[in-house]
Amino acid sequence: MIVLFTALLTSLIAITSSGGDAHATKQTLQVFAAASLAGAFHELADRLETAHPGLDVRISIAGSQQLVAQLEQGAVADVFASADDRWMSYARAQGLVSGEPTVFARNRLVMIVPKPNPARIGRLQDLSRGGIKIVIAADAVPVGHYTRTVLRNLTRTEGFPTDFATRALRNVVSEEENVKSVVSKVQLGEADAGFVYRSDVTPAVARYVRVFEIPEGANVIATYPMALLRDGPAPDAAKAFLDLVLSVDGQRVLEQHGLMPIAAISR
């Protein structure tokens, strides 16, 4: 904890020392983050701005694949936080990343249905019934890729039909560009079921949906890597943000927003 706090303090001092007067220290930090990180990263941004009043932290939220596409097209940012290794690896291959990415959190999937449950879904196996309207994310989206893995895993799970994944995917009526869109469609009753991250079932969302847990042996653990971006205009502020996310306080914020911290947090 002392090491991380010292690193964070050092980064903040570097930011403050970058100019000679109040106007010179005004700086913008642009963070590109996967949609499932919205709540946690906005809170962390507020904390960093409080620690350094001259800093304006802007969080851009979208699907990981959309963020990488924006960076390829010339968007300027300092930090990229992905919901999987696949898109981080792609960003590195395109020369967008500076240094080694750092895993800062993990997540797992759940299935949700609207509270009224018009399709009368009582268990995961019901997703293979005809007439069920399922919404998932597109395969290019991390949560969509994870969803397909979960469906294949359930096919090999005792108590599920051997063609479960095939039959469930036939019931997919929409493929979304980020996990928040999946949550919204289920919450509004536009779909009978959907697969989302555990962290997306916030207290506000939980009022409108019912959660079905996925058997541990069939679930996946989503890994979140983060990296500084090459030629980012605010490298010192970017390092400070990364240090904050990895600090004990930062990890606690992630946990409070339903994510799995990478290290044990003392209570």
For the chain (length 267 residues), average pLDDT per consecutive 10?
A: 43 46 71 96 97 94 96 97 97 95 97 97 97 97 97 97 97 97 97 97 96 96 97 95 96 96 70
Encoded amino acid at 233, one letter:
P
Burial class (CB in 10 A: 0-12, 13-18, 19+), 224: buried
- What is the pTM (predicted TM-score) of this model? 0.86
Tell me what pLDDT residue 26 has.
Answer: 82
Give start and end residues of each alpha helix (H) in the chain: 2-16, 38-51, 64-72, 85-93, 142-155, 164-170, 179-187, 203-206, 235-246, 248-256
Res 4: pLDDT = 43
The CATH number of the domain covering residues in 108-213:
3.40.190.10
CA–CA dist 73, 62 (Å, integer): 15
Instruction: In the chain, list all ranges with CATH 3.40.190.10.
Output: 2-106+224-261, 108-213
From the list 35, 31, 54, 34, the residue with the least C-alpha distance to 44 is 31
Note whether 164 and 155 are within 8 A (CB): yes
C-alpha span between 214 and 212 (Å, rounded): 7
pLDDT for the residue 263: 74
pLDDT recorded at residue 265:
61
Model pLDDT, residue 2: 39
In contact, 11 and 243? CB cutoff 8 Å: yes
pLDDT (0 to 100) of residue 168:
98
Domain 2-106+224-261: which CATH class? alpha beta
